[in-house]
Structure 1
Amino acid sequence: MNSVGTGRRLLVAAIAVVGLLALGTPAALANDGHHVPGTGTPGDGDGVVQYVNMGDSYSAASGVLPPAPGAPPQCLQSLRNWGHLLADRWDYALTDVSCGAAETRHFTEPQYPGVAPQVQALSDETDVVTLTIGGNDSGVFIGTIVACATAAAVTAGTGNPCEQQNGDRFTDTIENVTYPDLVRTLETVKAAAPNARIGIAGYLQILPEERGCYPIMPVAVGDVPYINGIQATLNDAVRRAAEATDVTYIDVTEASQGHDACRPIGTRWVEPGLLGTNPVVVHPNALGEAAMADRAAAELGPGPQR
């Protein structure tokens, strides 16, 4: 096939990958996911430690089977997400309102019809809160993947076309929009759960330090450091927002080095764009969720006992 034909074929593949991303939209995974709130609810006063898991697809474990019974199907919430793993480990009563594609605004407004604002799960009886949030704000995550996958397809994975085309626009958005939104959101969570210990995690490493694995991850070789820089900026914004609001930051960056989406099955914690095992691509698999639970347990400890 000539170079034009190859470029078109790769562009189609990249668009297909992007179509699957969507960070938890209903089309990303056709199942009847449900939700189990645990053995108690915030404010029930039964002496059980009340634990709420919140946030986006990294907290929901979108794409990891089996789905959580009772959860809104459009939220793509997994029974094996880090919230469920921590609740089992600590023997806490879990209320899980995490939802794929959530943005910071969905903490105070409905994300979908029938899906309440996430802070409504919190009260002064809430003891522990975990969350991931920020990656979907202003479309930074999906915007980066779409832009870089499309650019890589045109150059057949060579050069750094995404960086050349987009420059600092993604990192500028994180600094100028996402960071202040994160601070406001964490302040809202603290106000709604004034007695809770709160932990917010960063995002697992998606790409290796250099080169990548085009086309399994549809990123041009020269754009790997560029995307890593965007992710580092996002994780640092989460860290600084946690510090500004006196919330525990759960650092997963160092732990996830060597477990990126280019690694083989059994080693990677994030699924690649092509030839992965989960239908929601560029998201944590079960190993990644377990690693997040381990890091949260190390940072938060067992938490309060009632």
Structure 2
Amino acid sequence: MRRVFAGAVAVLLALTGCAGDVDQADPAGQTAPVTRQAHLGDSFAAGTGLRPLVADSSFLCQRADGNYGRLVSRGRGTELTDVSCAGATTEDLTAAQYEGVGPQLAALDADTDLVTLTLGGNDAGVFATAVGECTRLGRAEPAGAPCARAQGQTLLTALDTRTRPALTRGLRAIVERAPSARVLVVGYPWLLPPTDGCFAQVPIAAGDVPYLHRLQRRLNAVVAEAAAATGATYVDVAGPSAAHTACAADDQRWIAPLRSGPGSLHPTELGQRAMADAVLAALD
């Protein structure tokens, strides 16, 4: 994400833009796919932190070959246009995100059959503020709740007053541009358990772990509400991810622990696979 979990990405990025790319699901040149899929969204959709990146991606968009949109495309045999990009907000549906990275809605037209996306976490800087401030304050007061004390209701209010209406408008614009498409909006997997964190992996103060969980619960609720208001399908991945947070064992994590560079607190390869499985189940 740019303005959300992609704080590390923004620091490291110095390359130029990453235009969307088309991935033919049938490289053998057999019968052409009958479904056209567009994959939109932020770093959780792009697969930030995974390797390899797709040929036209860079450290700006961090679009990985193993993101869930591409896995869905391979599973369903679709012709894919992937414009997901780290740092995207709902504004980037209709405006250029970076030089050379145009509005994501440009990937859609009347012939689009399927749209997959994850979006909303970067709006209003909610997660960027929460994760950045909570880890900074947590290192100084690991047994307390300094982030909840400092932020109060501000971030929760921003989700209701800014993120929900912005995402609702964005999803309506998607429906208008691709009126025949089925739109699947994938939520965000849990970053941490509801109460017991893992300070060595994610330095969030003990009292702030419930606060971050509450914030993420509200974000997913806002995404679900926006989907319902626009006729899109909300795909829940929080429920299935409860035992697979950044605190889980290495071979069970769907979320990477905090580390330097892109990919901190983003879906692992297992996480992207789980998100793809949830979408494929919703399509069946």
TM-score of the superposed pair, with normalisation by structure 1 = 0.85
Structure 2 counterpart of 1:269, which letter?
W
CA deviation after TM superposition for structure 1 residue 28, in Å: 6.2
Aligned counterpart, 2:264: 281
Structure 2: 5+ residue runs without aligned partners? Answer: 26-31
Structure 1 residue aligned with 2:191, among 206, 226, 245?
Answer: 206
Match of 2:36 in 1: 50
| Aligned twin of 2:251 | 266
Residue 46 of structure 2 is aligned to residue 63 of structure 1: no
Matching residue's letter, 1:189: I
- Cα RMSD, aligned residues only: 2.4
Report the Cα distance in structure 2 between the residues aligned to 1:186 and 1:29, rounded to whole angstroms.
Answer: 30
1:29 positional shift: 10
Give aligned pairs, total.
Answer: 276
Distance 1:140 1:19 in 2: 7
Deviation at 1:253, TM superposition (A): 1.1
Contact 2:19 2:101 in 1 (8 A): no
How far residue 71 of structure 1 moved from its aligned partner, in angstroms, is: 2.7
SS in 2 for 1:159: coil
Structure 1's 51 and 34: CA in aligned 2 closer, same or farther, altered over 3 A?
same
Distance 1:34 1:125, change over 3 A: closer
Work out whether 1:295 is the aligned partner of 2:278. Answer: yes
Structure 1 partner of 2:68: 82
Q: Counterpart of 2:81 in 1: which secondary structure?
A: strand
Q: Quickly say closer, same or farther: Cα 1:268–1:90, change in 2 above 3 A.
A: same
Q: CA deviation at 1:19?
A: 11
Pair 1:20–1:223, CA change in 2 (3 A): closer
1:79-116, Cα deviation, whole Å (9 max, x unpaired): 00001101111111010000000000000000001111
Question: Superposition pairs for residues 3-152 of structure 1, below 5 Å?
Answer: 21-22=6-7, 24-25=9-10, 27=12, 36-39=21-24, 48-152=34-138
Q: Distance in 1 between matches of 2:53 and 2:33?
A: 28
Q: CA deviation at 1:48?
A: 2.8
C-alpha separation in 2, matches of 1:109 and 1:269: 31
Residues 33 and 78 of structure 1 are in contact (CA less than 8 Å); yes or no, is this contact kept in structure 2?
no
The aligned residue for residue 154 of structure 2 is 169
Query: Could you tell me how far apart the structure 1 residues matched to 2:104 and 2:273 are?
Result: 23
Look up the match of 1:197: 182
State the shift of 1:215 in Å: 3.3
Residue deviations 1:150-175 (CA, integer Å, cap 9, x gap): 111111x1111111111111100000
Q: Deviations over 1:43-80 (max 9, x none)?
A: xxx66310000000000001101101123541000000
User: Is this contact kept in 2: 1:103–1:135, CA < 8 A?
Assistant: yes
Classify the secondary structure of the residue corresponding to 2:60.
helix
Cα distance 1:289–1:268, how it changes in 2: closer, same or farther (>3 A)? same
Are 2:248 and 1:252 equivalent residues in the alignment? Answer: no
Find 1:219's aligned residue among 204, 215, 224. Answer: 204
Distance 1:60 1:201 in 2: 12
Change (3 A) 1:78 1:114: same
CA positional deviation for 1:265: 1.1
Residue 23 of structure 2 aligns to a residue in which SS? Answer: coil
Identify unmatched segments of 5+ residues in structure 1.
1-17, 41-45, 302-306
SS at match of 1:255: helix
Contact 2:145/2:207 (<8 A) preserved: yes
Conserved 8 A contact 1:127-1:195: yes
Could you tell me whether the CA contact under 8 Å between 2:63 and 2:85 is conserved in 1?
yes
1:24 CA drift (Å): 4.2
**CA-CA distance at 1:39 after TM superposition:** 2.6
Structure-1 residue corresponding to 2:144: 159
TM-score normalised by structure 2 residue count: 0.91
* Superposition deviation, residue 238 in structure 1: 0.2
1:31 Cα shift? 12
